């Protein structure tokens, strides 16, 4: 017996040992097993004991790794509920057509990927035949996040079931002809088939998590019961290196999202070579997911391995499988039996003896072909286990061979991701391996034929019957015919038209006040989905906490520290606000799920996601592109916007470029409103276009980006002049003239047009006074609510002109007859206002906050960037001096007077 006193303090738990003698007896037993049966047996017993403790619900740290074997023993696998022979033939046709499509397309130089679907075919086919619910049954069906590089296999299945033709397949990656197929899952390009863009790797995993979470949100809020919908995300093992792939794993387990399954295709290869050359990616992922609280199912080995495991009476095989690095497993895939005998089995005497009992064919069958992800029975068992598990999400780690069935020239080769075609001889070998009835004579002029057993064949009838039983074809996107949402009461918007009087109000606060009114609307109020990344108090949104509640599936299990305050922190199971913590990526994934609910679930939701403008587009522009691809609708709100308005924060917080990034997204309508009434008018128009009655020619599948500011300013009343509302939406209107501003000037005074957006209009208005009072210059001030929309309208006019249609850009019409030059200014880099320069007939110049931000007061920052009122005056005088309308000396005098 081990003396308890011999145990070093560092080996003891912090808890006091109530029975040191009993503890010593357990330790002595472990020592005895180690000595008598060896360390491997001792480790085995410890693992089994920990698993038993975990199963009994004892509070112990989880076992993060298990042996490198299947989680479900062969004896426990359920029988496949279907015709396995027919499913084998269906999968063979799909393998063939996927490879044929890419190979035929390679003649046009358009590329494509063959090896990924070849490895993952059974992961998809088993789901389509038995698990994935379609949209024609009850509810919304399942949501499928298909691995982008596997898209040829999905097209091949849609060809087999009659949804695509040979003409479609021959136009893979050639969309301009009108009958083409996009390279990857792109809903905007093929909106009847694809639901979720995934090929920007890492975005599929995080989107799937937040989609599953949003399904629960809709259920708990009583909007739609989605308890029968399941989210399936198909991912690559290399893709899991993307930070977005794993950033939300704990959210999924914390909220018990057992309506979510990740299926990771562990073919051990990424784009250039092994995922973990010197390590084991499956074991790494298992530990990562178990540590995050997920249920893990491993499907690594096919039935050919059963004999080997039965021979492994001492665990030597299991130990060897754990120690062989992934790159060596890949090498075995390409080597002969003699090499495998020596390198794999020859390292251990027990394994060497085992190898003598195995034929070369058996060894090659195991190491070249037999993987858990390549057998319908193994995959079926894993999927059944995932759906049966309750209380946590499941990840299935399915080992496959990249390029499986494509021949020795593809399987496990480092370059197979870039290999785009098979030769005719390789296709003939593949045909023989798959047992397809394709004749040599079908290869006309060396072109590989597509294969189809016939619309009335047993294969197609079986496929269609299985899909009918599961609720229709999948994947499929459906936009349900729902009535447009009624417009909210006009009062909510009109209240901003009168201005704020002497009260100073920031446009961020104006937006929040507008939303507070809109969420009270009886018809549409419940449809709003406020999303914020842990900055609600920064934006003045804490008043929404007690009235709307913060969504939590557990409700509020504690008494909040501020419970006695009016605006206390209230969580609720049916809460409306999604407060995501410090994660812009998670918040964007929330927004995408909510913004596409009209198609995914037939439930129109109105999300608005409010964030530090600097940390929106700069961090998550890829997700915003995904949002546009997925045809999402809603409001993105960049708050505390601008390079100089966030006083004191400095370089990392100072946004001078988000409208420039947003302008690159065709689905984003970007606005930089200056006044509260402009915010209201833009939101009103957005609700009409996206959720109400879009005008002819308007695309409702857009989203709005509004920049709002944290600088409190007196909000003016909306001008009464005609065309203001149109100008706000189109991007430009005249706010005032020198005369309507009450400024006196000589009859022949020089005149200039000052265009300002956002907070910059206040500097322009001050400059207007200075120009009049100190320099005798008359200035008119225009509010440029959207430089980007002005540019897009002008570009459309140019395109129309090339078609022979006469059309004048709105910006030119708006400024027609305006006297003098134009000076544009914003709190962003000059590139933003310069978007319209080529369509302005007057002399045009601009000012902007180019460069990095800096920490200082607002006034000092504006002086630094040369965008304050005094800098505008000097720039205006310089512009007029070049035209000979003021003396050149006035420019020098102004610089000295203002200390520039």
pLDDT digits (tens, 9 = 90+) for 590-644: 999 999 999 999 999 999 999 999 999 999 999 999 999 999 999 999 999 999 9
Q: Is the pLDDT of residue 125 over 80?
A: yes
Q: What does the pLDDT look like over 73-99, one tens digit per residue?
A: 999 999 999 999 999 999 999 999 999
Percent of the chain with pLDDT over 90: 83
Predicted local confidence at residue 716, as pLDDT: 96
For CA atoms 463, 466, 472, 476, the dihedral sign is negative
Residues 752/771, Cβ–Cβ less than 8 Å: yes
Residues 6+ apart with CB under 8 A from 293: 249, 250, 253, 254, 392
Residues 101/152, Cβ–Cβ less than 8 Å: yes
DSSP state of 165: -
- Mean pLDDT within 749-772: 97
Rounded Cα distance, 832 and 720, in Å: 28
Residues 6+ apart with CB under 8 A from 431: 96, 438
Q: What does the pLDDT look like over 207-232, one tens digit per residue?
A: 999 999 999 999 999 999 999 999 99
Q: Is the pLDDT of residue 1 over 60?
A: no
Predicted local confidence at residue 12, as pLDDT: 41
Rounded Cα distance, 261 and 209, in Å: 9
Rounded Cα distance, 419 and 102, in Å: 10
Q: What does the pLDDT look like over 280-294, one tens digit per residue?
A: 999 999 999 999 999
Pick from 853, 797, 850, 809: nearest CA to 828: 850
Predicted local confidence at residue 704, as pLDDT: 98
Predicted local confidence at residue 416, as pLDDT: 60
Rounded Cα distance, 752 and 768, in Å: 9
Pick from 253, 213, 230, 231: nearest CA to 392: 253
Predicted local confidence at residue 237, as pLDDT: 96
Q: How confident is the model at residue 410 (pLDDT cuts 50, 70, 90)?
A: confident
Q: What does the pLDDT look like over 790-806, one tens digit per residue?
A: 999 999 999 999 999 99
Pick from 74, 50, 46, 70: nearest CA to 60: 50
- Mean pLDDT within 55-69: 82
Statement: the pTM of the whole predicted model exceeds 0.85: yes
Pick from 258, 491, 289: nearest CA to 392: 258
Q: Which of 25-34, 131-140, 147-156, 420-429 has the highest mean pLDDT?
A: 147-156
Q: Is the pLDDT of residue 62 over 80?
A: no
Name all contacts of 303-309 with Cβ < 8 Å and 24+ positions apart.
303/74, 303/370, 303/375, 303/377, 303/378, 304/362, 304/365, 304/366, 304/369, 304/370, 305/366, 305/370, 306/74, 307/358, 307/362, 308/354, 308/358, 308/366, 309/69
Predicted local confidence at residue 10, as pLDDT: 39
- Report residue 365 CA to chain centroid gap: 40
Predicted local confidence at residue 11, as pLDDT: 39
Rounded Cα distance, 297 and 286, in Å: 9
Token pair belonging to 348: 């251990």
Predicted local confidence at residue 143, as pLDDT: 98
**Type and span of the H or E element at 231:** strand 231-236
Q: How confident is the model at residue 646 (pLDDT cuts 50, 70, 90)?
A: confident
Q: What does the pLDDT look like over 332-369, one tens digit per residue?
A: 999 999 999 999 999 999 999 999 999 999 999 999 99
Token pair belonging to 646: 């966030």
Q: What does the pLDDT look like over 503-542, one tens digit per residue?
A: 999 999 999 999 999 999 999 999 999 999 988 898 989 9
Residues 290/63, Cβ–Cβ less than 8 Å: yes
Helix (H, G, I), strand (E, B), or coil: what is residue 371?
Answer: strand
Predicted local confidence at residue 5, as pLDDT: 43
CA 841-846-850 angle, 5° bins: 150
Q: How confident is the model at residue 179 (pLDDT cuts 50, 70, 90)?
A: confident
Helix (H, G, I), strand (E, B), or coil: what is residue 851?
Answer: coil
The chain-wide mean pLDDT, for the chain, equals 93
Q: What does the pLDDT look like over 673-704, one tens digit per residue?
A: 999 999 999 999 999 999 999 999 999 999 99
Residues 114/102, Cβ–Cβ less than 8 Å: yes
Predicted local confidence at residue 2, as pLDDT: 43
Q: What does the pLDDT look like over 184-198, one tens digit per residue?
A: 999 999 999 999 999
For CA atoms 633, 638, 643, 645, the dihedral sign is positive
């Amino acid at each position: 017996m081990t003396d308890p006193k011999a145990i070093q303090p560092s080996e003891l738990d912090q808890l006091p040992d109530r029975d040191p003698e009993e503890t010593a007896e357990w330790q002595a037993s472990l020592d005895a097993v180690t000595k008598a049966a060896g360390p491997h047996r001792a480790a085995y017993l410890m693992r089994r004991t920990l698993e038993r403790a975990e199963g009994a619900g004892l509070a112990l740290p989880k076992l993060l790794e298990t042996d490198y074997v299947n989680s479900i023993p062969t004896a426990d696998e359920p029988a496949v509920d279907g015709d396995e022979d027919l499913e084998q033939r269906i999968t063979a046709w799909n393998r063939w057509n996927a490879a044929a499509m890419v190979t035929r397309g390679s003649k046009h130089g358009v590329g494509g990927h063959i090896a990924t679907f070849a490895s993952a075919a059974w992961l998809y086919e088993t789901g389509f035949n038995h698990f994935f619910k379609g949209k024609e049954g009850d509810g919304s069906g399942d949501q499928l996040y298909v691995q982008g590089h596997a898209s040829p296999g999905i097209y091949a299945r849609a060809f087999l079931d009659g949804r695509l033709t040979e003409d479609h397949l021959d136009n893979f990656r050639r969309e301009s002809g009108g009958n083409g197929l996009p390279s990857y899952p792109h809903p905007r390009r093929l909106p009847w088939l694809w639901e979720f863009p995934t090929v920007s790797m890492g975005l599929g995993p995080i989107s799937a998590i937040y989609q599953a979470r949003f399904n629960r949100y809709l259920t708990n809020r009583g909007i739609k019961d989605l308890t029968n919908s399941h989210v399936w995300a198909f991912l690559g093992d290399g893709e899991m290196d993307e930070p977005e792939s794993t950033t939300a794993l704990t959210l999924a387990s914390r909220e018990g999202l057992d309506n979510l399954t990740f299926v990771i295709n562990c073919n051990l290869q990424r784009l250039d070579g092994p995922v973990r050359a010197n390590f084991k990616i499956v074991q790494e992922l298992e530990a990562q997911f178990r540590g995050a609280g997920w249920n893990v199912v491993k499907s690594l080995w096919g039935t050919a391995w059963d004999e080997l495991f039965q021979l492994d009476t001492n665990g030597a095989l299991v130990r060897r499988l754990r120690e062989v690095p992934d790159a060596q497993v890949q090498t075995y895939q390409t080597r002969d039996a003699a090499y495998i005998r020596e390198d794999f089995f020859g390292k251990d005497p027990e394994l060497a003896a085992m190898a003598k009992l195995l034929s070369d064919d058996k060894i090659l069958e195991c190491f070249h072909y037999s993987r858990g992800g390549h057998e319908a029975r193994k995959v079926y068992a894993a999927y059944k286990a995932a759906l049966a598990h309750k209380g946590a999400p499941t990840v299935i780690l399915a080992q496959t061979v990249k390029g499986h069935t494509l021949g020795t020239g593809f399987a496990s080769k480092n370059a197979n991701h870039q290999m785009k075609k098979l030769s005719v001889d390789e296709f003939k070998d593949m045909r023989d391996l798959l047992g397809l009835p394709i004749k040599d004579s079908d290869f006309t002029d060396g072109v590989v034929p597509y294969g189809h057993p016939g619309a009335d064949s047993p294969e197609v009838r079986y496929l269609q019957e299985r899909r009918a039983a599961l609720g229709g074809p999948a994947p499929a996107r459906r936009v349900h015919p729902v009535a447009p949402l009624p417009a909210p009461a006009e009062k909510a918007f009109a209240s901003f038209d009168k201005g704020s009087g002497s009260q100073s109000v920031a446009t961020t606060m104006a937006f929040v006040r507008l939303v507070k009114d809109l969420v009270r609307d009886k018809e549409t109020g419940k449809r709003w989905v406020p999303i914020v990344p842990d900055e609600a108090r920064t934006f003045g949104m804490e008043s929404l906490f007690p009235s709307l509640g913060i969504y939590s599936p557990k409700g509020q299990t504690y008494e909040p520290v501020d419970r006695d305050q009016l605006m206390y922190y209230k969580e609720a199971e049916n809460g409306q606000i999604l407060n995501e913590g410090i994660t812009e990526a998670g918040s964007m994934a929330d927004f995408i799920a909510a913004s596409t609910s009209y198609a995914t679930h037939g439930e129109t939701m109105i999300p608005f996601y409010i964030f530090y403008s600097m940390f929106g587009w700069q961090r998550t522009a890829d997700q915003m592109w995904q949002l546009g691809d997925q045809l999402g609708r809603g409001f993105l709100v960049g708050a505390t916007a601008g390079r100089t308005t966030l006083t004191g924060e400095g370089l990392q917080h100072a946004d001078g470029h988000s409208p420039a990034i947003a302008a690159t997204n065709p689905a984003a309508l970007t606005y930089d409103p200056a006044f509260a009434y402009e915010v209201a008018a833009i939101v009103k128009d957005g609700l009409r276009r996206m959720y109400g009655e879009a005008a002819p020619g308007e695309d409702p599948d857009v989203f709005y980006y509004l920049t709002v500011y944290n600088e409190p300013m007196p909000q003016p009343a909306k001008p009464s002049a005609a065309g203001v509302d149109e100008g706000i939406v189109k991007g430009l209107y005249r706010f005032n003239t020198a005369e309507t501003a009450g400024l006196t000037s000589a009859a022949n005074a020089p005149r200039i047009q000052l265009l300002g957006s956002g907070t910059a209009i206040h500097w322009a208005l001050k400059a207007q006074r200075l120009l009049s009072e100190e320099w005798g210059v008359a200035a008119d001030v225009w509010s440029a609510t959207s430089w980007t929309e002005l540019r897009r309208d002008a570009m459309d006019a140019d395109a129309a002109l090339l078609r022979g249609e006469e059309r004048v850009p709105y910006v030119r019409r708006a400024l027609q007859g305006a006297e003098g030059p134009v000076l544009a200014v914003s709190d962003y880099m000059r590139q933003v206002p310069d978007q319209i320069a080529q369509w302005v007939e007057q002399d045009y110049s601009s000012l902007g906050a180019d460069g990095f931000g800096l920490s200082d007061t607002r006034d000092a920052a504006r002086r630094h960037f040369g965008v304050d009122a005094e800098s505008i005056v000097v720039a205006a005088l310089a512009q007029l001096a070049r035209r000979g309308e003021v003396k050149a000396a006035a420019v020098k005098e102004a610089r000295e007077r203002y200390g520039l």
